[in-house]
Structure 1
Amino acid sequence: MRILFFFFGLIQAAAFAQPPTKPILLKSKNQWVDSNLDKDGWKYFQDQYTNESTLSEGDEEHSFVPSLLQSGKDLFSSLTGFSFSIRRFRMKGLNNRYFSQSIHEISMNQLSDGNIPWANWGGLNEVTSNNQYATGLKDNEYQFGGLGNSVFMQLNASKLFPQTTVTLNLSNRNYHQRFAFTKVWTENKYGWSFATSIAFKQGLAGQFKANAFNGFSYFLSVDKSLKNHLFSLVLLGNKQANTRTAAVTEEMVSLTGTKQYQPGWGFQSNHIRNANWQFNHHPMLLLSHEYNLHEKIKQVSTLLLSTGEKFNTALDWYNSADPRPDYYRYLPSFLKDSLLSQNLLSHLQLNPTQLQINWDHMYWINQNSTPDKRARYLLEERVEQSKKIVLNTRYRIQLSDHLLLSFQGQFRTERYTYFKRINDLLGAAYSINWNQFAEDNLPGNTAIQNDLNHPNQILRVGDVFGYHYQMNLRQWLMMSQAIYTLPKFDFNAAIEYTATSYQRVGKYRNGVFPQNSYGASIPNYFSNYQIKMGVTYKLNGRNYFYFRTAYLTKPPLVNDLYISPRISSLIQADMVNEATFMNELGYVLNAPSLKITANAYWVRTYHAMDVMSFYHDGYQNLVNYALSNIGTKMMGLELSMAYTMPGGLTFSAAMNAGKYIYQRRPNYSVMADNEPYISEKGVLYIDQFPITGLPQLALYSGLAYRSNGNIFLNLSGSFMANQWLSFNPIRRTYDAAQNLPANIDAQLITQPSALPNALIVDFSAGYSCRIKKFRDGSGYYLQFFLGVNNVLNQSIKTGGFEQLRFDTPGGDVNKFPNKYYYSPGTLYSLSIKCKL
C-alpha cells in the first residue's frame, strides 16, 4: 500500500517540476442523438472519440499527442449494451455494486443493496441521454467511478440540447404505447434556462397474457446564471405500476403447450386478474450550485432530497392449501403411480383453467371456512419506503496545463422502512397478526405473535402486519484524484475513503426474538478505501496503449449483513469488508474508417457475503442461508471493432470471452425464522464453480448502411454461451453428499446447471426528413426508428434458477426441476418523433 500512495503523490509532485507545454487544442463537436436510437443500436455510429489527430508523421516525435477522449459510450458497450441484455450480460462478470450511475455528481447506487434504481427516472429518454461515460478503471472528471462502467448524468436546463419534441412509441414490449413531450428553452437575456418533459406509458396483455403496464414520468429543470455562478433546480420522477413475470418449469411448458405460460393470474368472475404487481414512485429534487472561483478553479455542490415507496403484491395464506397452480404437489410429476399421473395429465390438458389462480375459490373459502370470516387467503404488499438526503461538493483545479486535480466530499443518509401491508382480504372480514410458522412451537406460546407489543392484533385492508423495521444507513466520503498529461504519456490516480454505519430499528417485538427485535440495535461501523491508477502510452493520435489497476474495499451490503432483519437484529458472525483487486490492459485504435478496442481484465474479490431466504422442506419453515467468505475470480478479454467501408456500409463486431469462477469454499449457517438459534453450519462445495446468472462467452456482429438521404439500416446477430443457473446451496453441502443413496453419484447433484447456447438476430431501421424549412435555416423534422429484436421469433431460455428444494433422501435432482425465464419471441418498437 505504501507503494500505491507513493505513486499517487509522485504524479502530483512531478507536475510542479515539469516545464509548461501548451497542448494541441482539439476541435470537439457536440453531437445530439435521440436516446431511443442509442438504446436500439443507432447511436454507436456516431464517433466514439473526438480526438482525430492532425499531426504528420514527422511532427509526432516532438509534439504533444492528444489524450484519448471519450464522452459517449466506448465502442464495446455501444455495440453490445442492448444486444447482450437478453441474457443479462454484465461486463467483466461484476455484480451491480461495481457499476456506477450519478446525477449531478451524486451516486444513485443504494447503500442497502448496491443497485441503481433506473426505474426512478424511466421514460424520460429525451433528457436523460445527456451522459458521459467512463468504462472500467478509466479516469473521469467527477468521481472515483466503478469497476464495470460509470455513467454521469447532467440534467441542468442550460446544458441540455434546445429542443421541442413530440414522441410516439408503439411496441409489443412491456408497454405498448408511449407518448412524450419535451421542451428545452435556450437561456434568455436574464440568465434563466428552463426544460420540461412528460411521458405516458401504458400496455395491456401482449406477449404474456394478463400483463399490464402504466407509467407517468415528469421532469422540470430551472437554471439561473449569475456572473460566475450557476444555480440549478431539478425535479424528476416516474410513477409506475406493472405486472411481473415468473420463472416456470419445463413441465408447465409441456402441460400448457406454450413457453409464455404464467402462473400468477387467473379468472375472477370471468375477468382476468393478476396477483403479481409491482409499484414504484421515488420523486427526486436536486439543488445544485456551480461556482467558478477562478479561471482554473471550479466548485460544484449538489443537495439531493428523495422520498418514495415501492412494493410487490403476492398471495399469502394461513392453514389452507397452496393457491399457486404450479405448486409441485399439484402436478403429474409428483405422483409416483404412473396411471394416476397420466389421469391427472389428461385432466389438466382438458381443463387448462386449473393451471391458473382460482380467485373465486379463494373468495369462497374466506367467506365459508369460519363463522366470523377470518381470512384464509389474502393479497399482501411487500413494501419498501425510503428517504434519502445527500450533499456532495467537488472542487476541480486545473493546476497547470498538465495537471488536473479534483477533490470530493459527500455525506449521505438513507432510511428504509420495510413492512407488509394488506392489499385485499379477498372477501374475508379480517385477519390476525400471527406468525403461522411458529404456531407449532408450543401451544399457547407467545412465539406466534408477530408483535408482542400488540398481541392478537386484528387486521383490515391497509394495515401493517408480519414484520416492520427500519434501516438507518449513513456514509461519509472523501475522494481525491489527479490526471497528469505529458506529450507521450498520461497518468491518473485516485483515492477514496468512506466511513459507513448501519443500524436496524425494530417496530415490532417479535415473539421468537423478543430480546433483539424491538428498538434500535447497536450500530455497525465500517471504514473503507479505494485506490486506482493508470498510465496511457500515446503512440500517436490514433494508437493508444494503457494499463490500469485498482484495489478497494467495500462494506458488506446491509441486506447481506443481517441474517433475517425482518424479525431480529442478528448479524453474521464473520463481519468483514469485501475486498477487490483488478487489473486491465488495453489498446485503442481510433482511425477515420477503422476503430478497434481490446481490453484484457483480471478481477479477484474476497470476503463477500450473501443471505438467501426461502422455504425449506426439511425444516418446514422459512430459513435464512447466511453465506460468508465468498471469493471469486473473473478474467477475460473484450474486443470490438467498427470498419466503415465506401458506400455508407459499416461492419462491426465484438466479443467477450471470460472465465468467472468461485474460489475457495464459503461458510454457511442456517437459521430458521421461528428458532432463535443457528440450526446448521458448514461449508459450500463450490470451489472452481462457475459464477452463475450471465453468459461468459458473448459474440456480436453487425452490418449497417447509412445513406446521405438520412436512411439507416442495421442487421446484427449475437451468440451467447457458457451460462449457468443460480444454484441451490443445499445440494452443495457435506450432509447432502453423505446422505445420498449408494447408487447416486455425488457429482450429479453438485455439478452446475447450464443454459443452452443462444443465437439472436436483430434488425433496425431509421429515417429522418425535414418537413418544413424556415428562412433562418431552422426547420421541422420527422424521425422514424424501427427496432425488431429476435427476428427469428425464438422463445429462448433467458435465465433461471435451481429450485431451493432438494430431495435429500433420494438425491433426485429432477424431483424439483429447474425453473426458467423465456423470451417472448419477436419484439418490435416503432418510434415517431417530431422536432419542432
Structure 2
Amino acid sequence: MKQRLGLAIVLFCLTPTLFAQQKAKQNAREDNASFMFTESQLNEDDDAAQSMQSLVTSNNDVYLSNVGYLFSPMRFRVRGFDSQYSDMYINGVQFNDVETGRFSYGMIGGLNDATRNKEGIAPFEMNNFTFGSIGGATNINLRASQYSAGSKLTLSGCNRNYILRGMYTYSTGLLKNGWAFTGSVGYRWANEGNIEGTFYNSFSYFLSAEKVFNSRHTLSLATWGAPTERGQQGASTEEAYYLANSHYYNPNWGYQNGEKRNARVVRSFEPSAVAAWDFTINDDMKLVTSAGFKYSSYGTSALGWNGNAADPRPDYYKKFPSSAFNVYTDIPTEDQLNQFNTLTDSWKNNKATRQLDWDMMYFANSQANELGKEALYYVEERHNDQLAFNFSSVFNHAINEHNNYVAGIAVNTTKGMHFKKMKDLLGARQYTDIDKFSVRDYGVNSYIIQNDLDNPDRRIGEGDKFGYDYNIYVNKQNVWARYQGNSGAFNYFVSGKIGSAQMFRDGLMRNGRAPLKSLGSSGTAKFLEGGVKAGLTWALNGNHSFTINAGYEDRAPLAYNSFIAPRIKNDFVKDLKTERIIGGDLTYNFNTPVVMGRITGYYTHFDNQVEMDAFYNDNESRFTYLSMNGIEKEHWGVEAAATFRLTSNLSLTAIGTWSEAKYMNNPVATRTYESESESNLDRVYAKGMRANGTPLSAYSLALDYNIKGWFFNLTGNYYDRVYLDFSSYRRLESVLTKGNEGAVDANGNLVGVNVPGQEKLDGGFMLDASIGKYIRLKNGKSISLNLSVNNVLNNTDLRTGGYEQNRGDEKQNGQVREYVFSKNSKYYYAPAFNAFLNIGYRF
C-alpha cells in the first residue's frame, strides 16, 4: 500500500490530472471466435463522467445526481436496466444506436468541457425534448452561445486507462453581430495503462457555431469526433489470477521481439454533426427542429488460427495445471502429477507462459510458408460501422400559467455495415477464405466450406474483407405528445406516442452454409410501436410531496437481436414480436431546512424480449448462435437518498438501493451452428436467473465539507448481490437432458434434472476521498485544483462481474488436490487504488 501511494504521489508531482471514470469492462464473451458485434455496445470509454447512469441525473434529485458517479467502479446500472433503455439526445436529436439501442460514449470521449451543458430526466420526469424511456433520458446542449466566454485549459494525469490528458476550450460568447463560436480539442494517452499490456491513444475535437438572427430565429451547427486506438483487457479465470498472483492479469498481450503487443485493439472514429433551428413563434410557443448525422467506424482486432494450429491464448483451459487431471475426482498417476507440478511452476514463475507468444506464431507461419501452406495464425479486425441520420422537431405551447403541451416528431434511418478484414497475416503469404469448422465436417472439396460462393477459394491479403459481409438497415418514425398541468396542490401529466420501425438484412456474400438465404435482402420486418404515460404529484406543502407514475410501451425488437445467425443468413428470429413494458413508481419527496431527499418504490415488467448470444462451443468444437425470444423479466425495488445539512459547511449524504431483476420464464430458443444450414428449436431454463454485471444492492455514506474555497469529501460504498452472466447454452433443454429420455414432462418441466444455479459474487466495501480548491484570480480568471482517490483501502478482491464459459461443469466428489477452481467462469475485478489530480485554468 505504501509503495502504491508513493508511486501515485510521484505521478501527481510530475503530471497534473483531471478526474475521469474507470472504463466499463467488457462483459461480452471473450472466446476467440466470439461474434464481436457486441463491441459497439460496450461503452468502454474513460471519460464517462459520462457513464450511462451519471448522465441520467436531475439537479434536485439526490439519488440520480450521485449514483452514476459513486457506484461507477462496479458498473452500477440504475434499477438494473440495460443501457438500451436510456436515451441520449444532442441538441434535441437522439443519438442512440438503433441496432443495439445503446449510446456510444466513445463518440464524445475527451470532450468533457464541451458536453457539460445537459439536462437529465428520470423515467417519468416531464421535459421538453422527448417522450422518454423507462430508463430516463439526457439531452446535451452544444449550442455555442451557451458556453461562458473565454478560455479553459485542463491538464490531466492518472493511473487508470490513460495517464495523460490535455484539453483546451475557447468560446466567444454571444457577439454583438449575433454570432457565437465554441471550440475544444483534447488528447488522451498512455503507452501502458493501469492494466499491463493496455495502451491508449485518442484525439478529440469539437466545433460549434451559432447565429442569432433576431429574437425569433436562431440557427446552430456543431460537429465533433474522437478518433481512438486502445488496447483492451480480457477477463480470465480464478485459476489464472491465482497463478499470476494478480486479479488484474491480462491474457490479451505478449512480447514480440521484446516489445509488448496487444491482440485486442479497438480502433474507433465517429465523426458526427447536428444542426438546430430554434423558432420562437411568440412568448408562449416555440418550435425546435434538429437534424443529426453520424458516421461510425468501429473495429476490434482478434487472433485467428487455422488448420491444426494450437490455440494461442495463454489462458485456454487446456493449458492450465487443472487440465492435467480432474482435480475434483481423480487420483493422479505419477506422470499426471508431474505434469500438474510442471505447469504450475511454469505459470507461477515464467511470465512468458502467461502471455501470448507472438514470436512462436510468426515462426509457425514462416514454416508454413516454406511448405507452401496456409497461414496458421493471423489477426483479423471485426467491423461494426454505421451511417445514421436523425431528424426531430418539437413544438412547445404554454397555454397559460397552469397548462401546457409539447408535441414532437422523430425520424431515424440507419445503415449498419458488418464485416471483418485481414489486419495482419503475421508473416504468412497466403490465406484462403473458407470456414475452418466446415472443412473439418465436410472436407476441403465441399461447396459448404466457402464463405463467398461467388468467389470460391479466394486468396486474402492484408486489408481484404473475408468471412462475412452484410448490412442491416433500420428505419424508425414516431410522433409523441404530452399535456401537463397543475391545479392547487396537484401537478399532473399524460403523454403518448405512436410510431413504426422497419428492418432488413442485405447480405453481400453468398455463404456456402446458406446459399439461398445469405445473399441479398431478407425482406422487411415491420413493427408498430406506441406507449402511454401518466403521473400525478400531490404537494402536501412546500416541504413534502408524493408522486405516482405509470406507463405502458410497445417497442420494436432491436435489429441486433432479430436475426438468428446474421453473419451467414437472412433468417429472422421465429415469432418476432414487439417488446411490452409495463411499469410505474411511487415516490415520497422531502425538502426541509435540515434534510432533503426521496424514497421511491418501483416495478417494471418486460415481456417478449429477445436476446442473442454467439460463441465458440468447446463441447462441440464449433461456432454457435443461440437466440432466445419470448423472454419475461421483472425489475422491482426501493431507492432512497437523503442529504443532511449538519452545519453550514458540513453535510452527510446517505444513498441506498435494494433491487430485484430476474427472468420470469424459460424462453424458447433457436440454436444454429455456423458450419450447418439448419436451426434447431430448443428451450433455455433461465427462470430465476438475475441481471448480471451490476450490484442489485448498493449503499453509500458520504461526508462533504467546504470552507474558504476548499472542498473535502469522504465516501464509503458497499456493494452486494452481483451475479455472474449465466451461460444460456449450459441451460438448454437439449444439453440438460442429453442421454436422459423422458426428462421433460407434458408441461415442459424438467424431471430429475437440476438446472445449474447462477453464481452470486461476494459483496465488498470501497472507500473514496477527494480534496479540491477553487481560486479566484483578477479579471475573472480562476484556477481549480482537485485530487480524487478511489479505493483508498486498495480492495483488490471485489469482483464486478464476469461470465460463465460454455462448457460442462466439473463435479466435485470430495477429492481435492493442491487447489480447486471452476474452469467455467471468467471474472472482472474492480480497479485497485487509483487517483486523479486536476488542474484547470480559466482565462
Fold in common (TM above 0.5): yes
Change (3 A) 1:808 1:125: closer
Shift of 1:309: 0.1
1:210 alignment partner, one of 180, 194, 197: 197
Moved more, 202-211 or 94-103: 202-211
Q: CA deviation at 1:808?
A: 6.9
- Structure 2 SS opposite 1:639: strand
- The residue matched to 1:339 in structure 2 has which SS? helix
Give the distance between the partners of 1:186 and 1:692, measured in 2 at CA: 46
Which of 325, 328, 339 is the equivalent residue of 2:314?
325
SS at match of 1:764: strand
* Paired residues of 2:694 and 2:801 also in contact (CA < 8 A): no
**Which is worse superposed, 628-637 or 331-340?**
331-340
What residue identity is the alignment partner of 1:342? N
Aligned equivalents of 1:733 and 1:315: distance in 2? Answer: 29
Shift of the 381–746 alpha-carbon distance from structure 1 to 2, 3 Å rule, reads farther
Match of 2:760 in 1: 754
Counterpart Cα distance in 2 of 1:256 and 1:695: 27
Matched letter for residue 322 of structure 1: D
For the Cα contact (< 8 Å) 2:368–2:428, is it kept in 1?
no
Greater Cα offset, 779-788 or 730-739: 730-739
Tell me the residue number matched to 2:688: 688
* AA partner of residue 306 (structure 2): Y
When residues 145 and 38 of structure 1 are mapped into structure 2, their CA distance, relative to the original with a 3 A threshold, is farther
Q: Does 1:185 align with 2:172?
A: yes
* Alignment RMSD (CA, Å): 2.2
Name the counterpart of 1:765: 771
CA contact (8 A) 2:504 2:521 kept: yes
Larger RCO of the pair (alpha carbons < 8 Å, separation 6+): 2
Distance 1:747 1:163 in 2: 69
589-598 or 198-207: bigger deviation: 589-598
Partner of 2:590: 589
Other-structure match for 1:56: none
- Counterpart of 2:106? 119
Alignment of 1:287-686 (within 5 A): 287-319=275-307, 320-336=309-325, 337-370=336-369, 371-372=371-372, 374-443=374-443, 444-679=445-680, 681-686=681-686
Q: Report if the CA contact (8 A) 1:801-1:820 is conserved.
A: yes
Matches of 1:769 and 1:37, distance apart in 2: 18
1:747–1:91 distance in 2 versus 1, CA, 3 Å: farther
Using a 3 Å threshold, how does the CA distance of structure 1 residues 347 and 746 change in structure 2: closer, same or farther?
A: farther
CA contact (8 A) 1:741 1:809 kept: no
Matched residues in 2 for 1:327 and 1:398: separation? 64
Q: Secondary structure at the match of 1:414?
A: strand
Distance 1:746 1:104, change over 3 A: farther
Q: Counterpart of 1:731 in 2: which secondary structure?
A: helix
Q: Which of these residues, 101, 104, 127, is aligned with residue 91 of structure 2? A: 104
Hey, what's the Cα distance between the residues in 1 that align with 2:154 and 2:788? Answer: 15
Contact 2:63 2:597 (8 Å CA) reproduced: no
Report how far residue 147 of structure 1 moved.
1.5
- Letter of the structure 2 residue corresponding to residue 252 of structure 1: A
Q: Take 1:638 and 1:350, find their aligned partners in 2: how far apart are those partners? A: 48
- Segments of structure 2 that go 5 or more residues without pairing to the other structure are 1-16, 23-47, 50-56, 326-335, 742-750, 814-819
Query: Is 2:217 aligned against 1:260?
Result: no
| Corresponding residue number in structure 2 for 1:703 | 703
Alignment partner of 1:260: what SS? coil
C-alpha distance in 2, partners of 1:512/1:321?
A: 25
State the 1:369 CA deviation: 2.0
Equivalent residues of 2:762, 2:799 under 8 A apart: no
* Aligned-pair CA distance for 1:810: 6.4
Paired residues of 1:298 and 1:396 also in contact (CA < 8 A): yes
The structure-2 alpha-carbon separation of the partners of 1:740 and 1:654, relative to structure 1 and needing over 3 Å to count, comes to farther
CA, structure 1 residues 701+157, in 2 after alignment: closer, same or farther (shift >3 Å)?
A: same
Q: 1:801 to 1:740 in 2, by over 3 A?
A: farther
Whole-Å separation in 1 of the counterparts to 2:224 and 2:618: 45
Question: Aligned partners of 2:318 and 2:752: how far apart in 1?
Answer: 26
8 Å contact from structure 1 (residues 422, 462) kept in 2? yes
CA-to-partner distance for each residue in 1:788-833, whole Å, 9 max, x for gaps? Answer: 1100111134333343322279699966331111233111011100
1:161 aligns with 2:148: yes
Structure 1, unmatched stretches of 5+, are 1-34, 45-69
Amino acid at match of 1:384: N
Aligned residues: 766
Whole-angstrom CA distance in 1 between matches of 2:208 and 2:570? 42
Q: Deviations over 1:531-550 (max 9, x none)?
A: 11100111222222100001
User: Are the aligned partners of 1:412 and 1:476 in contact in 2 as well (CA < 8 Å)?
Assistant: yes
Q: Among 797, 804, 816, which residue is 2:823 paired with?
A: 816
Name the residue aligned to 2:231: 243
Letter aligned with residue 224 of structure 2: L
Q: Following the alignment from structure 1 to structure 2, what is the Cα–Cα distance between the partners of residues 758 and 342? A: 33
Deviation of 1:106 after TM superposition, in Å, equals 1.1
List per-residue Cα deviations over 1:210-261 (Å, max 9, x = no partner): 1110111111111101121001010111111111111111111121111121
Are the structure 2 counterparts of residues 735 and 513 from structure 1 closer, same or farther at C-alpha, using a change threshold of 3 Å? closer
Q: CA deviation at 1:487?
A: 2.1
Task: Determine if contact 1:562/1:571 at 8 Å carries over to the other structure.
Answer: yes
